[in-house]
Amino acid sequence: MGAYSTPRLKPAAANGDSAAAANIQHALSNPPGNRAVAVAARVMGWLFFVGGLVGAGLGIAGLHVEITVAGLILACTAGLILLKLRTDRDVLEKD
């Protein structure tokens, strides 16, 4: 319900503010050095995601609640970060 009650915000470019639009465009630019950082972040994200799932599986197999919860928290957090990285990549590719 809360997702439908908030109004959508217009991007700065739609407001006609050229300085703000230039700042946004500069922030979204992807220098070549950032590509290696993005690849490393994705690899680390996948490692943490798989590690969390393995940890949760081992916790379930050993009937250890703390290990299971820690593994699930790790996997969920890494999954959210991977989704954020994918969204950021998609936004950069559209420009």
Tokens of 7: 């109004």
CB 66 within 8 A of CB 78: no
Residue range 49-79, pLDDT digits in tens: 999 999 999 999 999 999 999 999 999 999 9
Q: Residue 56, by phi and psi: left (phi above 0), alpha (psi -120 to 50) or beta?
A: alpha
**Given this model, what pLDDT does residue 29 score?**
57
pLDDT category of residue 88 using cuts at 50, 70 and 90: confident
* pTM metric for this prediction: 0.64
Q: How far is CA 55 from the centre of its chain?
A: 21
**Given this model, what pLDDT does residue 21 score?**
57
Q: What percent of the chain has pLDDT over 70?
A: 64
